[in-house]
């Protein structure tokens, strides 16, 4: 034992109260000192460095650095004494570490061997495999290796322990190098296997996805990229390489037929007997193992139509039985079935009209109205038994005013009272006064003048006018105010809720709402949500009164649904119960590799089951194959969030990183040629949330591969036959018949296949909904009814914002899922894609494809009349042929805008348009006309009136623009002038 203590002089001058360390003793493997009356023992093992000496005016200070305590410093020691003590401590420290090194030799050898093996690993160095090694290396480095004195242990020992220390300091680089080395060697080692496992050799990307074996591996398998080949090869590789036993591999699919096909394919191609199972099957098995028997399955669990019909029946029974619930249900259909937006939520007429048409604002009486507020009024009248007409012609003939016949919004048939709803709100001015204002795109002065004119008409003809206003809805008193205003004039006779509900059924509104309820219910259960969760999220997302009205219906529907299970379970219950048993350890999983097909379709509950199985053993791997571009089963509970955040959800941990995973992009498509493959990729990636993927097409197109054919009303069958006839003519020149897949967003668009097959025997024609077409392909694909509307494409129902209450992540991009549905439709085609779309109401997707040249859509000459912008609302003026054979140009927003223009009088086909900087409109044929002084689109033609001939707008009586005929220019005006052409 050796002791070092302060000199008396220092103690007297600098530390008279004895607050600093006064003595240090080296006793065996410990250094002891007394601090504040407490004896402190510092082990040599905890020393980070040799003692540090610093000479000062009042003596020498010696500092001991330790991982166990803060630095201990003795000040005022004799310089020589401090050096002697320091050397003795250093020698003891070195002896201790050399002894410790000898003691840990076996452990060091084991860790060193494993670290060195990373240079050429025999197994993929997954995070779960290497993390324990890193933990051991760092513990060894911290407790021993980092404290060794290089001079004492010698260069040879320093070099020997260096790989362990390097790995402890930079494990990611060594693991990455190990992965690269393994993959290169493994691809070469298994080359023959990859060449022969399928009928065609696997691509480089497919081979890579098989040998990669991270804690979580995501294979991005685009349309036609051979995902089934990958999952087949992966299962066979795991067994043949001796990585797993068949019983340790869980192969999961979503559909029973897909699981059966996969099992057969794995065994046929590799001789490995692995049984693929559906999520439901493995969950059912887990329940049976834990409980000793399997509970009965609900009748509707395997039948989506039966499930929807059950929801419909529950709604009907609730209406019949429970008054409060029945009122909530009727209130939903009458006032919240569609998004409650008004013209105040839009900046342009075109945007407002487009939204209104997509919403299909149909009243309980059955007519379409022009605004949400009119819908509220009409449905209130219907609910309360007040008979009415919508937009009737006013009962009195008004003298010539230049206006259209006056049509008030509503006329109550029994009392003769008229109702006008005015789109005005209050605006507070700087001086504190208020004024009436209109929507952003409405001319305020013109609108207010129209209001006053209507009041004068009713006053003159002594008819009763009731007025309602947009500001009343803003103040939440629209319907209450209407009731008060009508009270003196009508007797309300509220219709029974059963009668109203029967009417709702007649309007086919229950079916789609039942599907929405069913989708919500499945996601609600699988995500483990509560009603309070939904209300909280609704408030946060500002979903408003519509969400509250929906939950008022959903809550009793869900309660009744749970009762009707009567001890049976549905698939959501099944998956969640199995996940719970795995999480709590009541089920002991034998699985070490979990392979999941069609991963983009996974739901929250299924993901929970996978995570529970993965958590049972530290070395379990998840291998997922899917394509987020084809995630189209939200209605069945799928949650794209899980694939987009795959690493966070399923990844392992290594070196402080918690989402360790690997992604492999298969890239190549064996199906679609370049024009289709690239257009589909561009289309789906307009949503920036979709995962970026490379595409290598199956071939190069020699002629336009994507065509859009516009269809006039009533021409659907004829246009389809025209397209098929053209295909049949081409096929007649080759030996092999061509396959043609007709696709529809909904089943109701299916044509008469028997007739089509009879007429076009050279074509193998089939029909599928787009959802049912997943996994299929055809030489030629024809997409039917690509129109706008609530049941159009994109469907306005599928992406209902209400579903965000039971989704962990809202999809902010408009029509996000429907865009993926369109991608699926496009990528069923090998050689050509033809899209049939309404000329008057084309899908927004069709408009996008036509307008953006990046898609390379073929413009077929002579197939359609030219389109022009509507000067009244910003929509499109579409060329249509009237019953008399004449061509007219009509605004696409027929119900709202009504802008209608005749074709040029000279050529009878084209539409004259304004020429910048002139007072004329000019037709493509060369004819010119004077512009109308009142409207954007019209031009003046000669007309006759009570005061003789004059120039009037072609849009009369919608527009009353006019001008006098100059006597010197009479002939030039009565006949359109033609420009001289060189």
Binding residues for ATP: 221-228
State the residue for tokens 């999520």: 279
Q: How far apart are CA 463 and CA 128, in angstroms?
A: 83
Helices within 144-215 (DSSP H only): 150-169, 171-189, 191-196, 204-211
At 940, list the tokens.
């003046």
Distances (CA, A) of 487 to 384, 410, 467, 480, 481: 12, 16, 14, 11, 10
Q: How far apart are CA 810 and CA 419, in angstroms?
A: 41
Q: How far apart are CA 496 and CA 319, in angstroms?
A: 10
As a whole number of angstroms, the longest Cα–Cα distance in the chain is 132
Q: Is 205 exposed, middle or buried (0-12, 13-18, 19+ CB in 10 A)?
A: buried
Distances (CA, A) of 212 to 127, 584, 657, 879, 964: 12, 31, 19, 58, 83
Q: How far apart are CA 509 and CA 364, in angstroms?
A: 10
Q: How far apart are CA 622 and CA 777, in angstroms?
A: 29
Beta strand pairing status for 465-469 and 418-422? Answer: parallel
Binding residues, as ranges, are 221-228
Q: Is 230 exposed, middle or buried (0-12, 13-18, 19+ CB in 10 A)?
A: buried
Distances (CA, A) of 622 to 180, 182, 244, 278, 837: 20, 19, 13, 16, 43
Angle CA 430–434–438, to nearest 5? 105
In 3D space, the residue among 61, 64, 52 whose CA is nearest the CA of residue 79 turns out to be 61
In 3D space, the residue among 970, 878, 973, 976 whose CA is nearest the CA of residue 926 turns out to be 976
3-state DSSP assignment of residue 340 = coil
State the residue for tokens 């495999």: 129
* Alpha-carbon dihedral angle through residues 285, 290, 292, 298, given to the nearest 10 degrees: -50
Where on the phi/psi map is residue 45: left (φ > 0), alpha (ψ -120 to 50), or beta? alpha
Distances (CA, A) of 731 to 275, 741, 833, 834: 42, 15, 16, 16
Tell me whether the omega of the peptide bond preceding residue 21 falls within 30 degrees of 0, making it cis: no
Q: Residue 33's beta-bridge partner residues?
A: 24, 40
3-state DSSP assignment of residue 874 = coil
In 3D space, the residue among 810, 814, 846, 896 whose CA is nearest the CA of residue 423 turns out to be 896
- DSSP letters along 903-936, please? PPTTTSSS--EE-TTSSEEE-TTSEEEEBPSS-S
Q: How far apart are CA 232 and CA 199, in angstroms?
A: 12
Helices within 783-875 (DSSP H only): 816-826, 844-851
In 3D space, the residue among 928, 930, 982 whose CA is nearest the CA of residue 961 turns out to be 930
In 3D space, the residue among 538, 557, 558 whose CA is nearest the CA of residue 548 turns out to be 538
The rounded Cα 132 to chain-centroid distance in angstroms is: 38
At 87, list the tokens.
């050397």
At 14, list the tokens.
């600098």
């Amino acid at each position: 034992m050796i002791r070092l203590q302060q000199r008396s002089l220092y103690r007297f001058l600098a530390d008279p109260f004895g607050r600093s360390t006064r003595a240090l003793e080296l006793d065996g493997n410990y250094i002891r000192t007394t601090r504040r009356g407490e004896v402190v023992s510092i082990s040599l093992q905890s020393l980070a460095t040799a003692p540090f000496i610093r000479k000062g005016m009042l003596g020498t200070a010696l500092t001991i650095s330790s991982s166990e305590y803060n630095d201990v410093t003795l000040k005022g020691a004799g310089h020589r004494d401090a050096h002697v003590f320091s050397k003795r401590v250093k020698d003891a420290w070195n002896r201790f570490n050399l002894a410790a090194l000898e003691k840990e030799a076996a452990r060091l050898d084991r860790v060193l061997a494993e670290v060195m093996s990373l240079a050429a690993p025999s197994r993929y160095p997954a995070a779960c495999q290497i993390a324990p090694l890193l933990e051991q290396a760092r513990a060894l480095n911290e407790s021993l290796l980092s404290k060794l004195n290089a001079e004492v242990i010698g260069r040879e020992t320093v070099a020997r322990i260096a790989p362990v220390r390097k790995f402890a300091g930079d494990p990611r680089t060594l693991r990455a190098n190990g992965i690269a080395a393994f993959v290169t060697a493994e691809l070469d080692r298994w080359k023959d296997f990859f060449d022969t496992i399928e009928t065609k050799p696997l691509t480089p990307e497919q081979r890579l996805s098989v040998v990669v074996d991270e804690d979580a591996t995501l294979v991005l398998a685009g349309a036609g990229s051979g995902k089934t080949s990958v999952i087949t090869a992966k299962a066979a590789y795991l067994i043949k390489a001796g990585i797993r036993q068949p019983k340790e591999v869980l192969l999961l699919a979503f559909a029973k037929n897909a699981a059966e096909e996969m099992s057969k394919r794995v065994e046929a191609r590799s001789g490995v007997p692995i049984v693929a199972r559906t999520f439901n099957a493995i969950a059912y098995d887990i329940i049976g193992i834990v409980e000793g028997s399997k509970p009965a399955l609900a009748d509707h669990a395997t039948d989506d139509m039966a499930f929807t019909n059950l929801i419909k029946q529950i709604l009907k029974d609730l209406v019949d039985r429970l008054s409060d619930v029945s009122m909530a249900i009727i209130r939903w259909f009458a006032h919240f079935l569609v998004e409650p937006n008004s013209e105040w939520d839009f900046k342009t007429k075109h945007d407002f009209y487009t939204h209104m048409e997509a919403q299909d604002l149909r009243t309980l009486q059955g007519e379409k109205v022009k605004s949400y507020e009119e819908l509220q009024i009409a449905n209130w009248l219907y609910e309360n038994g007040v008979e009415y007409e919508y937009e009737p012609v006013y009962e009195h003939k008004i003298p010539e005013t230049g206006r259209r016949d006056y049509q008030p919004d509503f006329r109550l048939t029994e009392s003769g009272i008229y109702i006008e709803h005015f789109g005005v709100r209050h605006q507070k001015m700087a001086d504190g006064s208020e004024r009436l204002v209109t929507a952003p795109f409405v001319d305020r002065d013109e609108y207010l003048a129209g209001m006053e004119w209507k009041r004068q008409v009713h006053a003159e003809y002594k008819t009763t006018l009731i007025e309602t206003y947009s500001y009343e809805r803003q103040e939440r008193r629209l319907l209450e105010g209407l009731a008060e205003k009508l009270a003196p004039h009508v007797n309300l006779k509220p219709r029974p809720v059963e009668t109203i509900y029967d009417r709702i059924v007649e309007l086919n509104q229950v079916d789609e709402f039942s599907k929405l309820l069913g989708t919500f219910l499945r996601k609600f259960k699988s995500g483990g949500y509560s009603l309070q969760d939904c209300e909280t999220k609704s408030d946060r997302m500002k979903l408003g009164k519509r969400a509250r009205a929906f939950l008022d219906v959903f809550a009793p529907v869900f309660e009744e649904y749970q009762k009707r299970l009567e001890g049976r379970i549905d698939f959501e219950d099944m998956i969640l119960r199995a996940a719970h048993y795995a999480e709590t350890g009541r089920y002991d999983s034998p699985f070490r590799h979990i392979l999941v097909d069609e991963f983009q379709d996974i739901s929250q509950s299924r993901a929970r089951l996978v995570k529970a199985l993965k958590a049972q053993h530290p070395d379990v791997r998840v291998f997922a194959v899917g394509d987020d571009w084809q995630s189209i089963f939200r209605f069945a509970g799928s949650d794209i969030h899980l694939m987009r955040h795959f690493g966070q959800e399923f990844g392992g941990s290594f070196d402080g990183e918690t989402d360790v995973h690997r992604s492999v992009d298969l890239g190549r498509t064996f199906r679609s040629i370049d024009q289709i493959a690239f257009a589909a990729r561009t289309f789906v990636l307009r949503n920036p949330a979709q995962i970026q993927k490379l595409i290598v097409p199956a071939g190069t197109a020699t002629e336009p591969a994507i065509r859009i054919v516009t269809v006039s009303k009533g021409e659907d069958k004829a246009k389809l036959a025209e397209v098929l006839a053209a295909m049949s003519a081409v096929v007649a020149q080759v030996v092999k018949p061509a396959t043609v897949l007709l696709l529809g967003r909904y089943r109701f668009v299916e044509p008469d296949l028997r007739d089509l097959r009879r007429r076009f025997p050279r074509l193998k024609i089939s029909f599928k909904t787009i959802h049912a077409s997943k996994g299929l392909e055809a030489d030629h694909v024809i997409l039917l009814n690509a129109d706008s509307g609530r049941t159009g494409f994109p469907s306005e129902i599928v992406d209902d914002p209400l579903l965000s209450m039971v989704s962990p992540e809202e999809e902010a991009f408009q029509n996000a899922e429907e865009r993926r549905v369109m991608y699926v439709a496009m990528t069923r085609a090998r050689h050509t894609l033809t899209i049939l779309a309404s000329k008057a109401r084309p899908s927004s997707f069709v408009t996008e494809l036509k307008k953006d040249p990046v898609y390379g859509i073929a413009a077929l000459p002579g197939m359609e009349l030219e389109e022009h912008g509507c000067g009244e609302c910003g929509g499109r003026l579409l060329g249509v042929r009237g019953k008399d054979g004449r061509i007219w140009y009509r605004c696409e927003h027929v119900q709202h805008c009504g802008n209608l223009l005749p074709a040029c009088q000279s050529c009878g086909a084209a539409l004259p348009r304004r020429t910048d900087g002139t007072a004329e409109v000019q037709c493509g044929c060369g004819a010119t006309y004077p512009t109308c002084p009142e409207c954007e689109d019209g031009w003046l033609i000669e007309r006759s009136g009570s005061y003789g001939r004059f120039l009037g707008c072609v849009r009369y009586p919608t527009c009353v623009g006019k001008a006098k005929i100059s006597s010197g220019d009479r002939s030039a005006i009565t006949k359109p002038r033609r420009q001289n052409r060189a």
